[in-house]
Structure formats: C-alpha cells, structure tokens
Amino acid sequence: MTDQAQGPRTAILTVDDDPGVSRAVARDLRRRYGEQHRIVRAESAPEALDALRQMKLRGDLVAVILADYRMPDLNGIEFLEQAMDIYPGARRVLLTAYADTGAAIDAINVVDLDHYLLKPWDPPEENLYPVVDALLEAWGESDHRAVPETKVVGHRWSARSSEVREFLARNQVPYRWYAADEPEGQRLLAAAGVDGRALPVVITPDGDPLVEPADAQLASRVGLATTPSQDFYDLIVVGGGPAGLGAAVYGASEGLRTVLVERLATGGQAGQSSRIENYLGFPDGVSGAQLTSRARRQAIRFGAEVLTTREVTGLEVRGSARRVTFADGTFIDGHTVLLATGVSYRRLGAPGLDELTGRGVYYGSALTEAAESRDQDVFIVGGANSAGQAALFLSRYAKSVTLLVRAPSLEQSMSYYLIRRIAENPAISVRTCTEIAGGAGAEHLERLTLRDTVRGSTETVDAQWLYLFIGAEPLTDWLGDVVVRDARGFVVAGPDLSAGGQRLRGWALDRPPYHLETSVPGVFVAGDARAESAKRVASAVGEGAMAVMLVHRYLEKL
Ligand SMILES: Cc1cc2nc3c(=O)[nH]c(=O)nc-3n(C[C@H](O)[C@H](O)[C@H](O)COP(=O)(O)OP(=O)(O)OC[C@H]3O[C@@H](n4cnc5c(N)ncnc54)[C@H](O)[C@@H]3O)c2cc1C
C-alpha cells in the first residue's frame, strides 16, 4: 500500500489488483486532488480493507473509494460492501470493463453504488474528474460531519433511547450505540461525569455530553440546520417525505427560493420502509432510507434549504403572502406553500400497549430495533403492504414472525407479490381473524392477549416485540379551517373542491383552482395528505414535482 502523504487531509482510496492500472488511477487522482487530499493506493482488496481499518482507528476521513470490479480475493462489489461497514459515508465507485457493466448496475442496489466508471477512463478531464468532483462535493455536503462520530449511551428498552437512535438514523447522522449496563457504556458515562440515572446521554462529535436531549437540541448539536436563513421564499414546503423532497428538488432546481420544513427527520414514512420494491427504476428494491437520503442530498445540492425538527403549527393568508408559523411562534413568509405532511399511524388503544410503546411496542417500523429481536418471537399487526414488508424484513433476524390480521385473509389488502413471499417464508405465520386485546410487561413487553374475532375466545402468548401497522390519519389538524379538508382530515384540492359542480365558497379568482391547489390560492397539497391520493412513494414524488409546475403557473399570474 502506498500512502502519499501523512496528515489530517481527507483520503481518496483506490484499489486495483493490476499494479499498472492501480498506479495510473492513483497518478491521475494525485494530479488533480493531491494537494487537498491524501491518495491511498492498494493492490488487493484485503490490503485496502486493512488500510481503511487503520485509517478508521486513527480517526481519518475517507471521502471516496474507487474499486476495481475484477479482483481475485474479493470482487469490487464484495469489497465495497465490507468497506461500507468501516466508512458508511464514503462515496463508492466501481471501475469496470465494458463487459461487466451488468454487474456494475446490480451493485447500485447491493452497495448503494454512486457511480461506475468504464476502463480506460482517458481523458480523465472528461471521464474521471467530473465524477470524482461531484462525489467529493456530495460527501462534503452531507457526510463529513459524521466523523468523528456521535455516541448514544442508553437503555436498550427505553422509549426515548430508541427515539433518539431513530432520529439520528433517519437524519443520516451516523452514531455508535452503547448499552448503559455494559462496560464501554459505563466508561463513557463516567468520562462524561454523569451517573446514568437520566438516559440517554448523547456525546456529540466534539465530546460534549447531552443528557436526555430534545430533538431540536440534538439537531443543532450534530450539525443539522434548524433555522431559516431568509424570511421570504418563493416556495415553503411543509413536510420532508417523498412529496416534500420531490418538490424541494424540482423547486430548487428550477430556480425557486425553496425551503423545506420538517418536524422530525426527512424521509417521512418512506424513510421507515425496509425495502421499496415498486419504485420505478429499482428492480431489486431500494431501502426507503437510501432513497430519501439521496433525495435530501439532491435537494440541498440544488440549493434548497432543509430545516429539521421544526414543526409547523399554523398557516395564514396575509395579502399575497402566505405565512407559516412554527411551534415556537416564529414564522416565515412565502409566495406559495406546499402542504406535504403525509399521514401517521393510528394508535391501537388496547390496554397496556401505550405504556410499552418504545419498549417492545413500535408503531410503523423501528428498523433500528430489528437486530435486537434476533432469535426472538415477533408479532406484527396489519394486513397492508407495510406490514408485509416488515414481516419479511424482521424474519431475517427473528426466530418467528407472526402476522396478526383482523380480516379473514390478506388478499384484499396486500400486494400479491408480498403474499406469495410470506407464504414461502417458513419463519412467518399468518393468523387471520385475530386482534390484540391487550399487552403486559414490567420493563419491556412480555405478553400479548390475542382475541379470535370469530369465536370470541382469547389466548395469552409470550411476546417481546410488537410492530403495529394499522392504518393512518393525516397530519393536518393544525390547518383548522384555513383550507378545506374532508371528513377524515385529508386536504381537498383541484377539481375535487368543486365536486357536484358547485362553485367553491370564498374562491375569489376568475379561474378554478389548479389540480393540486387547495381552497386557498397559492397553497398546494401533495402526497398522502391529499384527499383521494394514491398513498405510494412514486405518486407522492410525482405530485411534489407537479406542484412545482403549478407554483410556476401561479407565480406568473401574481
Ligand atoms: C413501513 C412503510 C412501508 C411502505 N412501503 C411502500 C412501498 O413499498 N411502496 C410505496 O409506493 N409506498 C410505500 N409506503 C407508503 C409511502 O411511504 C407513502 O405513500 C409516502 O411516504 C407518502 O409520502 P408523503 O411525502 O406524502 O408523506 P410522508 O412520507 O408521510 O411524509 C410527511 C412528512 O411530513 C412531516 N410533517 C408532518 N406534519 C408536519 C408539520 N406540521 N410540520 C413539519 N413537518 C411535518 C412528517 O414528519 C413526515 O416526515 C410505505 C409506508 C410505510 C410506513
């Protein structure tokens, strides 16, 4: 292995088993990036992994890894998979011959490959540097804050510890988890000078301990933006799920001053999906977190401002401006607003479950907890695709997964491909006509009482993990009467506002509302929060993009 220079500079690592090619790649990289970056060269995958491990221990940063596909010990994809465990934030490039482009395309899903480069890459000015420039830029924008990393010391079964982990994961802030009752966790608590009675303790990358931090405090201390830089925008997007991210990407890329405001972490429901298999262009599926983290990077790259941990609590019409108010009373104004607040899971309400939420009972998926359920019995409530996906995902860890469904079968509610895969999976069983009558446990869920809805009989079973996917309601109560909502709270838009041919009351313009426009001109809605929406990632993204087109149309006539 050749290490060109010592020092704290960010590294670019390249590995190729052909010494000539390896030297040539390193030479080209050094010519352009040698001043700013360390170029680390290896001639085998094990040697490169060794180098990465050493750099990790030293706390060095690695921005880009370029790996040859055809290598004898591990091929490039296998190598990148292992390299990801060491440097998850490093951007990944595969070097391939023309004949191997199929493998490279597959790698996009396996290792979330950022790019593949065909050999030879001459001239580098055209084929190599633009790719590496873009990757360095992407890395600089999002991932470098990850190293040195955030540490979370908490109790395995505490609701707040679990929320903090979920929050960091969904905001793409890498962290390391330490159980407070294990030696390393205790060492960290002692070093932080706290007794561990109040948990979790988050140790920021600068080494500051935060005891039981609120989300907003956490966000600001791990480098996430929480305050707007301007007080007036062309487009204010409320909600950072696929619809909001779609609008932010298109809005900012088309020159609109765009801000996206998210109450928690970007990604929305999609960010909780273990594998989205029906999104166009990903034949092998893609994890929701990967998809939405790329979208967030893309939005920021085009110049959108993304604010997290800011909950919007009010919308006001002030002449031609639209005002969005935050929970702390501050506000921003804009020409237009897009409501993309999606939906949230309904609570079950069976006795005992509320107290155990976060301690074995989770609404929606809590993927960060999945590994904890290794070799244990998991129960999932719900008959829709989200429940089916969770069952397949958790079956990789759990001893058994039981899907509890109130209906007599899954056929009415779940896609056929999922039903088939569940039937083929020996670890998953489906109990139809069954509902949960209650849950119990001291520190953590221990038992569930199940009711057979046909016979009316009940049965108590041992259970440590319960995931609930039981339908959703829109997050729109804060809108009050400002815009028209349907009986369930979904926001009504476009032609649906004048269903039955009636003219919309209070609508003063001489044109009807645009397709995604609400009962307030200049306020649009996209994604799951819209009445009659499709409740799919692709349609949410599509509506986000379409809303931007309508925003342009609105602005032209202002
Ligand atoms: C586990 C799971 C698996 C799924 N799998 C698939 C799948 O395989 N394929 C598919 O097509 N669809 C799938 N879906 C559905 C899909 O994820 C949703 O249709 C999609 O995410 C909707 O996007 P959205 O942007 O409209 O809303 P959401 O994703 O719900 O995002 C809304 C965002 O707005 C934020 N927000 C809400 N209120 C406020 C406020 N007042 N202030 C600021 N921010 C706010 C929320 O925190 C959230 O981040 C799945 C859903 C789940 C839960």
**Tens digits of residue pLDDT in 110-146:** 777 888 888 888 899 988 999 999 899 888 876 454 4
Q: From 250, 415, 421, 537, give the residue whose CB has the most ligand 1 atoms within 8 Å, as the site to mutate.
A: 537
Calpha distance 301→289 (Å, rounded): 18
**Closest ligand 1 atom to 242 CA:** 25
| Ligand 1 centroid – CA 90 distance (Å) | 27
* pLDDT over 50 (residue 353): yes
> Buried b / exposed e across 488-504, counting CB within 10 Å, b at 16+?
eebbbbbebbeeeeeee
The residue contributing the CA closest to ligand 1 atom 17 is 270
Bridge partners for 39 per DSSP:
12
| Ligand 1 centroid – CA 369 distance (Å) | 20
| Ligand 1 centroid – CA 241 distance (Å) | 5
| Ligand 1 centroid – CA 535 distance (Å) | 8
* Helix runs in 205-341, H state only: 215-221, 242-253, 288-301
pLDDT class of 430 with cuts at 50, 70, 90: very high
Angle between helical axes of 129-142 and 19-33 (0-180°, round to 10): 60
Mean predicted confidence (pLDDT) in 86-111:
79
Phi and psi torsions of 145, nearest 5°: -65, -15
Calpha distance 61→13 (Å, rounded): 11
The residue contributing the CA closest to ligand 1 atom 38 is 341
Mean predicted confidence (pLDDT) in 329-348:
94
Do the bridges between strand 258-261 and strand 232-238 make them parallel or antiparallel, or are there none, so unpaired?
parallel
Residue 184 is predicted with a pLDDT of: 80
Phi and psi torsions of 474, nearest 5°: -70, 150
Mean predicted confidence (pLDDT) in 173-196:
86
Residue 4 is predicted with a pLDDT of: 40
| Ligand 1 centroid – CA 468 distance (Å) | 16
pLDDT class of 7 with cuts at 50, 70, 90: very low
Mean predicted confidence (pLDDT) in 260-274:
90
| C-beta of residue 39 within 8 angstroms of C-beta of residue 30 | yes
Do the bridges between strand 343-345 and strand 472-474 make them parallel or antiparallel, or are there none, so unpaired?
antiparallel
* pLDDT over 50 (residue 6): no
Q: From 167, 249, 341, 490, give the residue whose CB has the most ligand 1 atoms within 8 Å, as the site to mutate.
A: 341
Question: Which of 338, 333, 339, 341 lies closest to 316 in space, CA to CA?
Answer: 333
The residue contributing the CA closest to ligand 1 atom 27 is 342
Residue 365 is predicted with a pLDDT of: 64
Residue 415 is predicted with a pLDDT of: 92
Q: What is the mean pLDDT of the chain?
A: 89
Task: Give how far Cα 546 sits from Cα of 65, 192, 247, 249, 514, Å.
Answer: 36, 50, 8, 12, 11
* pLDDT over 80 (residue 293): yes
Residue 142 is predicted with a pLDDT of: 63
Type of residue found at 201: V
| C-beta of residue 555 within 8 angstroms of C-beta of residue 257 | no
| Ligand 1 centroid – CA 268 distance (Å) | 4
- Winning range, highest mean pLDDT, from 4-18, 193-207, 359-373: 193-207
Mean predicted confidence (pLDDT) in 133-161:
77
| Ligand 1 centroid – CA 377 distance (Å) | 28
Calpha distance 143→88 (Å, rounded): 9
| Ligand 1 centroid – CA 547 distance (Å) | 17
List pLDDT tens digits, range 495-512.
Answer: 999 887 778 888 999 999
DSSP string, 351-417: TTTGGGBTTTEEES--GGGGGGGTTSEEEEE--SHHHHHHHHHHTTTSSEEEEE-SSS-STTTS-HH
Residue 424 is predicted with a pLDDT of: 96
Q: Where on the phi/psi map is residue 36: left (φ > 0), alpha (ψ -120 to 50), or beta?
A: alpha
In three state form, how does the secondary structure of 17-72 look?
Answer: CCHHHHHHHHHHHHHHHCCCCEEEEECCHHHHHHHHHHHHHHCCCEEEEEEECCCC
Mean predicted confidence (pLDDT) in 31-40:
94
Residue 367 is predicted with a pLDDT of: 62
* pLDDT over 90 (residue 173): no
Q: From 215, 273, 296, 530, give the residue whose CB has the most ligand 1 atoms within 8 Å, as the site to mutate.
A: 273
List pLDDT tens digits, range 355-397.
Answer: 888 788 888 765 666 777 888 999 999 999 889 999 999 998 8
Q: Give ligand 1 pocket residues (Cβ under 6 A).
A: 238-244, 261-264, 268-270, 272-273, 276-278, 311-312, 340-343, 364-365, 385-386, 389, 475, 478, 527-529, 535-538, 540
492's tokens? 């009504």
Calpha distance 425→137 (Å, rounded): 43
Calpha distance 377→455 (Å, rounded): 25
Residue 2 is predicted with a pLDDT of: 44
| C-beta of residue 135 within 8 angstroms of C-beta of residue 63 | yes
**Closest ligand 1 atom to 365 CA:** 1
| Ligand 1 centroid – CA 30 distance (Å) | 43
Residue found by looking up tokens 């359920």 in the block: 373
- Bond from prior residue into 351 cis (ω within 30 degrees of 0): no
**Closest ligand 1 atom to 277 CA:** 8
| Ligand 1 centroid – CA 472 distance (Å) | 10
Calpha distance 548→524 (Å, rounded): 9
Question: Which of 538, 465, 556 lies closest to 243 in space, CA to CA?
Answer: 538
pLDDT class of 485 with cuts at 50, 70, 90: very high
Residue 501 is predicted with a pLDDT of: 76
* Helix runs in 87-230, H state only: 101-110, 124-127, 129-142, 159-170, 183-192, 215-221
> Sign (positive/negative) of CA torsion 547, 551, 557, 558?
positive
* pLDDT over 80 (residue 106): no
| Ligand 1 centroid – CA 72 distance (Å) | 43
257's tokens? 């001053």
**Closest ligand 1 atom to 537 CA:** 11
The residue contributing the CA closest to ligand 1 atom 6 is 276
Q: Where on the phi/psi map is residue 360: left (φ > 0), alpha (ψ -120 to 50), or beta?
A: left
List pLDDT tens digits, range 37-74.
Answer: 999 999 999 999 989 887 765 667 899 999 999 999 88
| Ligand 1 centroid – CA 344 distance (Å) | 8
